[in-house]
Structure 1
Amino acid sequence: MIEEPRTGMEFNSLEELNSYYKLYAKRCGFGSMTQRSERDDKGSVRYVTLGCARGGKARNKTTNMGKPRPTAKTDCKARINALKVDEKMKLTTVNNTHNHGLSPQKSRFFRCNREVSEAVKRVLDTNDLAGIRMNKSFGSLVVGAGGFENLPFSEKDCRNYIDKARHLRLGSGGAGALRDYFSRMQYKNPGFFYLMDLDDDGRLRNVFWADPRSRAAYQDFGDVVTFDTTYLTNRYGMPFAPFVGVNHHGQSILLGAGLISSEDTDTFIWLFQTWLQCMDGLAPPAIITDQDRAMKNAIAVVFPKTRHRFCLWHILKKVPEKLGSHRAYKSGLKSQLMKCVYDTQNIEEFEKSWEQLISKYTLQENGRLQSLYSERTYWVPVFLKECFWARMSTTQRSESMNAFFDGYVHAKTNLKEFVDQYDNALRKKIENEISADFHSFSVTIPCISRSPIEKRFQELYTNAKFREVQQQVMGVLDMDPYLLRRDGVKKTYLVEDEVRVEEFCKNITYYVDFNEENCEVKCSCGLFQMRGILCRHVLSIFKCNGIKSLPARYILDRWRKDIKRRYTLIHSTYDSGHQREDTNRYSTLLNICYQMITRAAGSKEHTEDATKKLNAMIELYGYNQEPPSMTKIGEETTIVGSSKQVLSPQVVRGKGRPPSLRRASRMEQHIRKGKAKTKKANLLGKRKEVLFGLDGSQPVLEGLDGSEVQK
């Protein structure tokens, strides 16, 4: 119980007086404030009046008389006056009578009783840098404190602090802060690459950047790249344009990114040329994009020798929109179109099947199908079998990069905040890769057969890729190759494969050419050419010909776990400019304190003893020490580069892009529901191969080339 103020009480300092009256007010149920103070010639306070926070009269400054501002003022006269006498503050007059009700349980809501401690600030800073939303951060603080009533601050106080912290950390957060960030990264590591495209007024138009690790990783995994721009990122509406590849675990890997102001041919040419310059002029052998005319034109200019593929999923999802009104769409047109796309094994079969489709349903004048046919080499699987795609047939990996930003990046996110979040994505991807490397070396997946070929893949390939090999090894049991013809050392086999969708089966016949002399083999399914994994049809031919030793040509270095790749030795350039040198010391002390608290909290005596000693240590080290913060920039973060001012970009609208986050179409929503149902079915013992149809109705199954096969 705290003593009530009375005339004649003395305090050693003004701080002690303030602390006493603030605590007294909180216990009684009101807020305190300094109503008046006077200073002497030396600048120290000689007289002070502390009173109730509801003292004084309301001052309504609003011009809208019909909507006056709410006020808490009641002209309460409760107050104390203190005069400095002999270096002590002495109470001269005291009034403890209030003209309003008091509520000790609700006094925590007064401004004077709300304070965000340094420890909480650090937690908020850390969570903000990690992309954790404020409602999640505040919720964890509430749980840790045992309830809202035990927190001396509100969620709004936390949001206000983070807003100020971001301003200190990011400055304006626009193009100027972005340039400073890039300059700092390049100063730390010359391998960091960035280029900013400005208009005639010095305003940012486009920007591209890539860290040293991504540039080095491109040397190993730049054989196929996906590129996509279907995401609204920030307050300027600049589309995010990531270049994404696949590493030896089949994981997505970032190979650079851009923010662009428009999606026309000239902009894409600038972005692709910049990326090519970043990658030392080495163009990717294959690239996957959406069916976008501007992208297609730009790729033809910048990457003339690169095999360009359209995202198959995006093309086929538009089919119901363009052909759904046809009277025969559901009665046969859709099924025959899918068979034409998926079931044909060579170009001649496709051309014949397409001609039959057009003729049967009199679609000669259909503009959509004419357009698709004219660009058939960009999306029909049969035209793409001779190129390596690393199990990618869509831009889904680029969109998975976009999904990483969901929940944090929004329409008000500035450029610097977005790039910070990109760094978080980079960290996460690197950590996932390191974890997968560890498990591939320390965890062995048992073989499911006695085949020495499977054993060889077990020794060389990462666990993720060995799992894919095992899927094919398991399918060998159902294969019964038939020798169609023989020409010297060359054989041609027919292999009939049964593909199952729940209770339905579909038989597909594949052709396998085998050379006995050099063990060269090629299957019409194209799995090895497209994915780099030997198909079950080829493995069955090896088995029936007694091949025990795996030919070296069928072991791809890009899937191996025993190769030390140069990019893994390069540390990614993270922006540590917002961290001070004493941050590590802070973390060290905090860990020690946690250990002490865990042990001391076990008994009341230990808790009281630890509290006394900690308070003594606080007195020993003083209050004038500035606590470490993650929102200030240390001296080591010297900014280098051009001093020319860079203006933030103007707000733009992309092609067909709504003014918010990328919105899923009704088709995508149906497919997501289908995937959820499929997952539930798998838990009930259904086969995992089941996907759902492109229009959400008819099931499809996964083909050997990574695309979907219509039933």
Structure 2
Amino acid sequence: MSENLLDKLVEHETFRDFEEIENYVKRLTDELKMPCRIGDCRTVENYNASLKNVENYLNPEIRYKHIKFICSHYGVHRSRSKGKRNPQVVRACDCPFYFKVAYQRLTSEFRITGVCRQHENHPMDESTINTFRVKQRLPVEIVNFIENATAAGILPKRIRQRALLQFGKDLPLKFIQNTRQKIIGLPKDEWNTTAEMLIAYANKAKSHSIQILRDDLYVITHIFVQLAVQKEMYTNFGQLLQYDGTLSTNKFAMPLYTLLVEDNYGVGQPVCYCFMREETSESIKKTLQLFSECNDISVTETVVTDKGCADISAFAEIFPQATQLLCQHQALLTTEKRINTANLGDDLSEEILQRFKQALYAHSIEELEDAAGYLTKLEHDNLGDYFETCWLKSPELWSDVHRTHIFTKGNNTTKRLDRFHSTIKTVAGQKKSRFQDFIQILLDILRNRKEVDTTIKINTHTIPEFLKDFAMQVTPYAYQLVNAQMKLKTSGYSVIRTEIGIFITSESHTYEIENDLTECSCSFFASYRLPCCHILFAVEKYRLVLPVENYEHCWNKDKSADGMNENEDDGTGSDVSPIKVVNSRDPRKVLTKEDKWNTGNQLAKLWCNAIQDLPPSAFDSQINLMKKMIDIAKANQVIVFGMEDKSPVKERSTNNTNTTPKSPAAIENTPNSRKENAGNVKAPCTILTPGRKRDASKASSVASEDNFQGEKLQASPSINSKSPSKKRKPSRISSSVQISTPGNSAEEEDWESSVLYLNKTPKPKTYLREKKSHD
């Protein structure tokens, strides 16, 4: 009987329905002691929810589109020595047993598509089965009671109490909550809810372009979104356009396609979003047609797309004037994958890949032809035909030698767009968020770097005189590109100036420059349309004037301000990244290490700009202060600076002086006092350390008696005993910090304070003599 049961586990064996499969699995457990559990699967409900499967709707009674049954010991064993708790339901010990069944639409039955009947690394007896924990399975009458009560709107707590009285079963409240969520689920009209949200968003501002397309069955096929600010960004920076799609952004398996440009600060800015049901050439073409109707596409000169033929054909039809380029990174990955499928060995595969890289990054036609001759002669697994058919027929799409005259802004790949998609999926939770929430996150993302980058001031003292006007007109990112060209070696250049132009000859090439310095034949000028090292060399040699207004205007500073402050009308954020959008939705989220570094870096730039024009004495004071702050940060201490304190402080006399200066915290905030004491006293800063209780009078004596020399920030010694020579063990500094001022009642707590302040008044000689005698 058992042999006949295992004989059914062969490929292409069929089951009438899923109930027969369940009975078969139960017999495996009871008769052969082979307990199985469900591994990878896809339910019919999930299959029907995808818009791609609207025309292939399945009856929900089928339950599963495909399902994989695996042994209860299936999976990799997790050692306890690694400090991780083993799963309580799965006892994995690398057992390979499994069988996979899939529903066949034509025959209306389930068929086995994969099987492994071998068990390993565990016994098969009844005692082993009894050691497994199983999930709680309630009787049908209790489940029906919970479902009916939930549908009636009864609270879970009341359902639990009623179930205990009626069935004598104390149900976990979490189980009832899960059942309630399963029944309620997501609204069936989630697509309609999203459509209504987008339509309301479009009605809020007529300048937005939001379109929702449907088919004959009234099913959504395209969602096209472009805000007014995105239109403005495309007009200003749309010379280079990147286009790519990504999956796994929503539970409906609807791919997201994004059009992205690079702004004048070198930041990728999305200028259009589109969700589509099918990734076909017709569908992509429809998206680009919607985009062309809403924008002047004549500004686009270059388009960088993925390796898909559907993208290339659609762009060639909608953007006939633009130059089509393939992503070099995707070309390299595709070729490497094809080479690995040939199973040629590591050495030969690496040699073929290096030859393709030679063709990919070739600097001359001869170098490209040399690599092409090697690749076309390959006979292993028809690789020669593959390279000749797929790549070498159109090298202008992917080889560097054909890109030396194309305006690419340095973008030869779509990695900028891939990074944007990766960030979107990370912060949006991929398939966890509702579709309308994900759409709203996309609408909120407008990564404007203007407010950050405009705070960076270029040190004009290090800029050559002929570049100062240019540096003041373009963004810091554009000037950094030109500054890098200035640092290139030009000692081997020879220059000839004629009526036709200026010819500069290097060790390997000869470059031609227009007499008005508006163009050069090198690849850098073609890629960025900014002054290259050859133009700068000619300007410096012949003392010419750089034509600042004749270079590409997309790098100018004023471009970044166009349209970026119009967010009051469209309700989007003006200076947010994808991470900041999600953090604003969840204010309890802890700042990451990267967020802290970015905040500190921005403040450090502001501080550097503030101190660069200070006199030497003030500059030294700022540097000493920063060094002390760094030491305090390394010690994991927290400091709070008190800017003003109006608490009264009583003056007391000493034996050495007739008048006692007031504590810095007690100085009145009046115009006369500020004028008299300007630069002499700073507000105190308190670091609290755990110790014995102290009264307010002893604490105030620290601030009134101790004066510090110069501009150095130091901690005053604590006075806790009458004998000054008696040393006290230093106490550990606490991480909590409070402001402590003389006479404050907070000093009566179990803390001892050390007051830090800045004082430019020199120390009295009496104090120095007393200090020397104490030592």
The aligned counterpart of 1:483 is 494
Does 1:357 find its partner at 2:374?
Answer: yes
Does 1:274 find its partner at 2:290?
Answer: yes
Pick aligned residue for 2:300 from 266, 284, 298: 284
The aligned counterpart of 2:533 is 536
Indicate if the aligned counterparts of 1:454 and 1:470 stay in contact, CA closer than 8 A. Answer: no
Report how far residue 303 of structure 1 moved: 1.6
Report how far residue 564 of structure 1 moved: 7.2
The structure-2 alpha-carbon separation of the partners of 1:351 and 1:474, relative to structure 1 and needing over 3 Å to count, comes to closer
Structure 1 unaligned spans of 5+: 1-50, 62-67, 73-110, 112-153, 497-508, 577-598, 600-711
The aligned counterpart of 1:662 is none
Indicate if the aligned counterparts of 1:245 and 1:253 stay in contact, CA closer than 8 A. Answer: yes
Pick aligned residue for 1:58 from 155, 164, 186: 164
The structure-2 alpha-carbon separation of the partners of 1:390 and 1:450, relative to structure 1 and needing over 3 Å to count, comes to closer
TM (norm. structure 1) is 0.51
Pick aligned residue for 1:494 from 505, 527, 530: 505
Pick aligned residue for 1:444 from 432, 457, 462: 457
What SS is found at the alignment partner of 2:289?
helix
The structure-2 alpha-carbon separation of the partners of 1:339 and 1:52, relative to structure 1 and needing over 3 Å to count, comes to closer
Indicate if the aligned counterparts of 2:469 and 2:548 stay in contact, CA closer than 8 A. Answer: no
Does 1:413 find its partner at 2:433?
Answer: yes
The structure-2 alpha-carbon separation of the partners of 1:569 and 1:335, relative to structure 1 and needing over 3 Å to count, comes to same
Indicate if the aligned counterparts of 1:512 and 1:521 stay in contact, CA closer than 8 A. Answer: no
Report how far residue 239 of structure 1 moved: 0.5
Indicate if the aligned counterparts of 2:243 and 2:303 stay in contact, CA closer than 8 A. Answer: yes
What SS is found at the alignment partner of 2:266?
coil
Indicate if the aligned counterparts of 1:181 and 1:575 stay in contact, CA closer than 8 A. Answer: no
Indicate if the aligned counterparts of 1:309 and 1:379 stay in contact, CA closer than 8 A. Answer: yes
Equivalent residue runs for 1:116-135 within 5 Å: none
Report how far residue 271 of structure 1 moved: 0.5
Residues 658-677 of structure 1 deviation map (CA, whole Å, 9 limit, x = unaligned): xxxxxxxxxxxxxxxxxxxx
The aligned counterpart of 1:389 is 408
Structure 2 unaligned spans of 5+: 1-156, 573-641, 643-775
What SS is found at the alignment partner of 1:533?
coil
The structure-2 alpha-carbon separation of the partners of 1:202 and 1:181, relative to structure 1 and needing over 3 Å to count, comes to same
Does 1:550 find its partner at 2:542?
Answer: no
The aligned counterpart of 2:484 is 471
The aligned counterpart of 1:212 is 228
Indicate if the aligned counterparts of 1:534 and 1:554 stay in contact, CA closer than 8 A. Answer: no
The aligned counterpart of 1:512 is 511
Amino acid at match of 1:244: L
What SS is found at the alignment partner of 2:257?
strand
Report how far residue 572 of structure 1 moved: 6.0
The structure-2 alpha-carbon separation of the partners of 1:287 and 1:459, relative to structure 1 and needing over 3 Å to count, comes to same
Does 1:201 find its partner at 2:217?
Answer: yes
Indicate if the aligned counterparts of 1:491 and 1:514 stay in contact, CA closer than 8 A. Answer: yes
Equivalent residue runs for 1:214-293 within 5 Å: 214-280=230-296, 282=298, 284-293=300-309
Aligned partners of 1:377, 1:395: CA distance in 2, in Å?
17
Indicate if the aligned counterparts of 1:226 and 1:243 stay in contact, CA closer than 8 A. Answer: yes
Q: Which has the higher contact order (CA 8 A, sep 6+)?
A: 1
The structure-2 alpha-carbon separation of the partners of 1:197 and 1:482, relative to structure 1 and needing over 3 Å to count, comes to same
Indicate if the aligned counterparts of 1:234 and 1:409 stay in contact, CA closer than 8 A. Answer: no
Aligned partners of 1:322, 1:454: CA distance in 2, in Å?
49
Residues 108-136 of structure 1 deviation map (CA, whole Å, 9 limit, x = unaligned): xxx8xxxxxxxxxxxxxxxxxxxxxxxxx
Amino acid at match of 1:519: L
Amino acid at match of 1:546: Y
Indicate if the aligned counterparts of 2:223 and 2:276 stay in contact, CA closer than 8 A. Answer: yes
Aligned partners of 2:351, 2:162: CA distance in 1, in Å?
82
What SS is found at the alignment partner of 1:201?
coil
Report how far residue 469 of structure 1 moved: 2.1
The structure-2 alpha-carbon separation of the partners of 1:364 and 1:492, relative to structure 1 and needing over 3 Å to count, comes to farther
Amino acid at match of 2:369: K
Does 1:398 find its partner at 2:417?
Answer: yes
The aligned counterpart of 1:559 is 555
Report how far residue 446 of structure 1 moved: 1.8
What SS is found at the alignment partner of 1:357?
helix
Report how far residue 540 of structure 1 moved: 3.0
Aligned partners of 1:550, 1:226: CA distance in 2, in Å?
32
Report how far residue 416 of structure 1 moved: 0.9
Report how far residue 235 of structure 1 moved: 1.4
Report how far residue 191 of structure 1 moved: 0.7
Residues 330-386 of structure 1 deviation map (CA, whole Å, 9 limit, x = unaligned): 6744434323332414xx335533444347767883313431112211111222232
Aligned partners of 1:377, 1:218: CA distance in 2, in Å?
26
Amino acid at match of 2:363: T
Amino acid at match of 1:353: D
Aligned partners of 1:54, 1:351: CA distance in 2, in Å?
75
Residues 215-251 of structure 1 deviation map (CA, whole Å, 9 limit, x = unaligned): 1222111111111112321111001111111111111
Amino acid at match of 2:223: V
What SS is found at the alignment partner of 1:567?
coil
The structure-2 alpha-carbon separation of the partners of 1:226 and 1:487, relative to structure 1 and needing over 3 Å to count, comes to same
The aligned counterpart of 2:205 is 189
The aligned counterpart of 1:458 is 471
The structure-2 alpha-carbon separation of the partners of 1:462 and 1:202, relative to structure 1 and needing over 3 Å to count, comes to same
Amino acid at match of 1:212: A
Pick aligned residue for 1:366 from 380, 385, 388: 385
Indicate if the aligned counterparts of 2:470 and 2:548 stay in contact, CA closer than 8 A. Answer: no
Residues 92-112 of structure 1 deviation map (CA, whole Å, 9 limit, x = unaligned): xxxxxxxxxxxxxxxxxxx8x
Pick aligned residue for 2:363 from 330, 336, 344: 344
What SS is found at the alignment partner of 1:229?
strand
Indicate if the aligned counterparts of 1:313 and 1:394 stay in contact, CA closer than 8 A. Answer: yes
Aligned partners of 1:448, 1:326: CA distance in 2, in Å?
59
Report how far residue 465 of structure 1 moved: 2.0
Report how far residue 179 of structure 1 moved: 1.8
CA RMSD of aligned residues (A): 3.8
Does 1:294 find its partner at 2:310?
Answer: yes
Report how far residue 52 of structure 1 moved: 13
Aligned length: 410
Report how far residue 262 of structure 1 moved: 0.9
The structure-2 alpha-carbon separation of the partners of 1:55 and 1:403, relative to structure 1 and needing over 3 Å to count, comes to closer
Indicate if the aligned counterparts of 1:448 and 1:470 stay in contact, CA closer than 8 A. Answer: no
Report how far residue 489 of structure 1 moved: 4.7
Report how far residue 301 of structure 1 moved: 1.9
Identity %: 14
The structure-2 alpha-carbon separation of the partners of 1:420 and 1:157, relative to structure 1 and needing over 3 Å to count, comes to farther
The aligned counterpart of 1:653 is none
Indicate if the aligned counterparts of 2:328 and 2:360 stay in contact, CA closer than 8 A. Answer: no
Residues 193-217 of structure 1 deviation map (CA, whole Å, 9 limit, x = unaligned): 1111111111111110111111122
What SS is found at the alignment partner of 1:406?
helix
Does 1:313 find its partner at 2:332?
Answer: no
Report how far residue 401 of structure 1 moved: 2.3
